[in-house]
Amino acid sequence: MTGKGTPGAHDVPSGNAASSLPIELRSVSKSFAGIRVVHSVSFDMHPGEVHALMGENGAGKSTMIKIMAGLHQADEGEILVNGRVVKFASPKDAHAAGIATVHQELLLFPELTVAENIFLGQTPKTRLGTIDWQKMRERSRQLLDSLDSGDLDIDQKVATLSVGNRQRIEIARALAQDARVLIMDEPTAALAEADVQRLMAIVRNLRDRGVAIVYVSHRMPEIFALADRVTVLRDGHHVATKNISDVDEPALVSMMVGRAIDRLYPAKQGTDGDVILELKDVSYRSVVRGISLKLKRGEILGLAGLVGSGRTETALTIFGITPATSGEILIDGKAQAIASPEAARDLGIAYIPEDRGSQGLIRMQTIEENVALANLKRLMRGFLVDAARVTAEAKNAITKFGIRARGPEQLVRQLSGGNQQKVVLGKWLATNPRILIMDEPTRGIDVGAKAEIHLLMRKLAGEGMAILMISSELPEVLGMSDRVLVMNGGRIVGEFDKEHATAEAVGTIMTRTFTNGEAA
Amino acid sequence: MTATKLLRHETILAVLTVIALAVLASLSDKFFTVENLLNQGRLMSEVGLVALAMTFVIVTGGIDLSVGSILGLTAILLGVFWKNLGLPLPLAMLAAIACGTFAGWVNGFIITRFRVPPLIATLATLALYRGLAEGISEARSVRGYPEWFFFFGQGEVLGVPFQLWLLGLATVIAAVILGLTPFGRATYAIGANETAARFSGIRVNATKLWIYTAAGFLSALAAVVFVSRVTTTRSDMGTGLELDVITGVVLGGTSIFGGRGTIIGTVLGLILIQALKNGLSLSGVKGDGTIVVIGLVLIGAILAGALFDRNRGG
């Protein structure tokens, strides 16, 4: 450490006020490959508080978290635990200091039981040195009960559990380590609404027991419901730390993006044109049931519904991944058999999938390789791929969509979520589509990038693009769509125009249980 | 930038190959003679032809264990078509090559249509094709091919063995296809992330089918060269060929997990192995010793590659 701290500060309690803080970072800086990603940021945690850490992707949140968790070592500045300067050389040191992390990608062992996972690495032993199963199961039980999670079976294999349940196990594991600081990195990103409520209850429970919780999330409602304080980072700089009661959502957003965002959802431009895509009674096995819909040029049609209601499945059928088993798909009034994604692409259909990492991108390849992938036929000179045009295409996408990257040759996996999504968009818009299907277009993306993507969607629609948008975020569906279709059980169960699409109306029909046949 | 990154493993290999050649040359004065080197090229050609196709197969994340059996089956069919069925030899050659190509297509069909993992599918056809070869040949070898036929395996053009020209031409074609065409891009994309490739409108199954068919074709071509070189057809020809081929490809830096690899790397890997085999035997090292050295070199190359990969970070 090339510390700026006063010499000899090691192991000296520094001031009474600070002595009880479970963790405090003073003027911490960190660079990677000569690029400073954290500039002299200070951050502290009080026992029993929820402290939200906010900022756009690339603002330095992840790096800050990793410094606290011992995964990265700060170049400058110091870390104090209980008023003593400490150095975390590895995550093990951070654990020993009472700092635990619940990661975005849950790090559990699917083939082990709940109890084994909770106590992995710190298994209680009998006097003979073998595993004390009884004690382990008892303590697991206690831990889960204390998290209001008595419903989890401690002998079940983790592989069989939902994401929400796995997360509770990770939290129990952190508690088993006597964590005093719990870092939660976007804990609700992959959760369904019911699990979110449950998680929030657990977070409050932990707070009341005196655990300090660093809470990273893009979701504003959670921040305002949970946090006591909020710290905003931008481009690696500390912007502000405030009590949550002193800020409102627009203020937070403008602190994060460094400018005021005047309206959340851009207004409609232009008017709708002719019907370009029409589905007549389209079905795919039993997951897509008799879907009929019309999509016009210049229109954004929202497809609402719960996960598993058939929204994505309908999109996949239109895109030829799971070709329709019955019914007709008409493009410009002409019936088309769409048997494969390449057929869909050649008809001018583009699909931005919900899972960027596995469906949208090849993460180990570069930006230019990804951008060219759907468009290779057009980027040829003779039999060969025209490397110069591929690079030009990628550069074009980078400037047009404002992708923050070193250049077309940067690996996609090194980009932030928002920038990765822009690469997917760049890839598909390069094919000059007329119909754009966007499945969860802003999932896991920060506020600034989200607003940019919304603006882009409006601009494309204004230029005559027909957009079918699937989203699990009701505010996004209601804010962006000109018309909303609601799906439930593989069927379309409701249609609303912009004026009548309210959260109550759409939400009710989304979650209603339909008896067979009623919905048709 | 990309080119230098990709070539990093190939650079290590090239340096390694040069060192090996220098050491081997100092160990035996017979090693670094034009005659010996050309002869080694001749011996390398059959493995080399198959390795070109195998590079594509492994880049897609697959494997083809049946190439040795396809070689054996094609060799037998060549003899049977000519001797037993009385076809003119040129026709018999074409028919046998067509059969070998079809055997490759069957691999691809099983893998793409029924979604059988390539390892399992080609393990099964490894046994199937070899069994067919043995059954058809009834353990009899075929001899007595006309003199002109030996040109493919023993003849020379401008002082260079015929099959080296063939290998050279095939290498250039393979390198261009993998490195510069949409087909090559699709091959890498499939190996790196098959789902994303499909979602990008890449014809995943068609691409794979072509690649396994090409593996059959090149194995069949190698069979003709092989029969011509040794003047006899036997049903155990090409046994274990798949291991030599895969060793060369992996030594050449192709990732067994798919998504990475180059033809240049494969060629360098093949040259290094062949040079070690020949040079060590010329220097009086026994066969077992040679295998040990090849094993060590393979491990070393993979470790060096992994080390560079880690340094690349990310």
Are B20 and B272 spatial neighbours (Cβ–Cβ below 8 Å)?
Answer: yes
Q: In terms of residues, how long is chain A?
A: 520
Are A78 and A10 spatial neighbours (Cβ–Cβ below 8 Å)?
Answer: no
- Going by DSSP bridges, is the β-strand pair A334-336/A491-497 parallel, antiparallel, or unpaired? unpaired
Distances (CA, A) of B275 to A15, A486, B88, B262, B279: 71, 68, 38, 20, 6
User: Is A384 close to B176, i.e. CB distance below 8 A?
Assistant: yes
Q: Does domain B32-305 match CATH 2.30.29?
A: no
Q: How far, in Å, CA of B216 to CA of B69, rounded?
A: 10
Domains in chain A with CATH codes: 45-69+88-257 (3.40.50.300), 263-348+433-520 (3.40.50.300), 366-424 (no CATH)
- Which residue, chain included where needed, has tokens 């959260």? A503
pTM of the model: 0.77
Who has greater pLDDT, B301 or B177? B177
Q: Is A342 on the interface with B (CB under 8 A)?
A: yes
Beta pairing partners, A111: none
Q: How far, in Å, CA of B204 to CA of B189, rounded?
A: 9
Choose among A342, A362, A365: nearest Cβ to B203.
A342
Are A115 and A137 spatial neighbours (Cβ–Cβ below 8 Å)?
Answer: yes
Who has greater pLDDT, B91 or A145? B91
- Greatest CA separation found in chain B? 62
Kindly provide the b/e burial profile for residues B279-314, where b requires at least 16 CB atoms within 10 angstroms of the residue's own CB: bbebbebeeeebeebbeebbeebeebbeeeeeeeee
User: Is B189 close to A373, i.e. CB distance below 8 A?
Assistant: yes
User: Is B203 close to A340, i.e. CB distance below 8 A?
Assistant: yes
Chain segment B268-288, per-residue pLDDT in tens: 999 999 998 888 888 888 778
Nearest to A427 by CA among B5, B177, B189: B189
Instruction: Say what the ipTM of the complex is.
Output: 0.87
pLDDT at A146: 83
pLDDT at B312: 46
Task: Please give the residue of chain B at the shortest CA–CA distance from A365.
Answer: B192
Q: Could you tell me the residue ranges of all domains in chain B?
A: 32-305
Using a CB-CB cut-off of 8 Å, the residues of chain A touching B205 are: none
Q: How far, in Å, CA of A369 to CA of B182, rounded?
A: 11
- How far does the CA of residue B106 sit from the closest CA of chain A (Å)? 23
Task: Please give the residue of chain A at the shortest CA–CA distance from B193.
Answer: A362
DSSP class of A267: P
Are A361 and A424 spatial neighbours (Cβ–Cβ below 8 Å)?
Answer: yes
Cα B190 versus chain centre, distance? 21
Q: Is A391 on the interface with B (CB under 8 A)?
A: no
Nearest to A195 by CA among A223, A162, A226: A162
HSE-CB at A468 with a 13 A cutoff on CA atoms is 30
User: Is A345 close to B180, i.e. CB distance below 8 A?
Assistant: no
Who has greater pLDDT, A276 or B138? A276
Most confident of A154-158, B82-86, B287-291: B82-86
Choose among A374, A385, A409: nearest Cβ to B200.
A374
Q: What is the pLDDT along chain A (520 residues), one digit of tens a residue?
A: 444 444 433 444 444 444 578 899 999 999 876 778 899 999 999 999 999 999 876 788 888 999 999 988 999 999 999 989 999 988 888 888 899 888 766 678 888 889 888 888 778 888 888 888 888 888 888 888 888 787 888 888 888 887 778 888 888 888 888 889 999 988 887 777 777 888 888 899 899 989 999 999 878 888 898 999 999 998 889 999 999 999 988 888 888 877 655 456 888 888 888 999 999 999 999 899 999 999 999 999 999 988 778 999 999 999 999 999 999 999 999 999 999 999 999 999 999 998 888 899 999 999 999 999 999 988 988 899 999 999 999 999 999 998 988 899 999 988 888 899 999 999 999 999 999 999 999 887 877 788 889 999 999 999 999 999 999 888 888 889 999 999 988 999 999 998 888 888 887 888 776 654 444 4
User: Is B2 close to A413, i.e. CB distance below 8 A?
Assistant: no
Choose among B182, B184, B199: nearest Cβ to A377.
B182
Handedness of CA A231, A233, A238, A240 (dihedral sign): negative
- How far does the CA of residue B197 sit from the closest CA of chain A (Å)? 8
Q: How far, in Å, CA of A450 to CA of A124, rounded?
A: 47
Distances (CA, A) of A366 to A27, A414, A428, A496, B156: 35, 10, 16, 42, 44
Distances (CA, A) of B202 to A173, A217, A343, A375, B198: 43, 36, 10, 10, 5
Instruction: Select from A365, A386, A406, A416 the residue whose CB has the most chain B CBs within 10 Å, as the one to mutate to test that interface.
Output: A365
Q: How far, in Å, CA of B149 to CA of B89, rounded?
A: 8
Sheet strand arrangement including A275-284: A288-296, A275-284, A326-331, A334-336
- How far does the CA of residue A26 sit from the closest CA of chain B (Å)? 28
Chain pair A-B, CB pairs under 8 angstroms: 74
Nearest to A432 by CA among A350, A359, A342: A350
Q: How far, in Å, CA of B235 to CA of B255, rounded?
A: 32
The token pair at B9 is 């493993």
Residue B45 has pLDDT above 70, yes or no: yes
Instruction: Select from A338, A346, A364 the residue whose CB has the most chain B CBs within 10 Å, as the one to mutate to test that interface.
Output: A364
User: Is B176 close to A342, i.e. CB distance below 8 A?
Assistant: no
Helical segments of A147-228, H only = 163-176, 193-208, 220-226
Are A430 and A201 spatial neighbours (Cβ–Cβ below 8 Å)?
Answer: no
Mean pLDDT over B58-71 rounds to 97
Q: Is B206 on the interface with A (CB under 8 A)?
A: no
Q: How far, in Å, CA of A104 to CA of B272, rounded?
A: 45
- How far does the CA of residue B249 sit from the closest CA of chain A (Å)? 21
User: Is A385 close to B182, i.e. CB distance below 8 A?
Assistant: yes
Task: Please give the residue of chain B at the shortest CA–CA distance from A315.
Answer: B199
- How far does the CA of residue A341 sit from the closest CA of chain B (Å)? 5
Handedness of CA A277, A280, A284, A289 (dihedral sign): positive
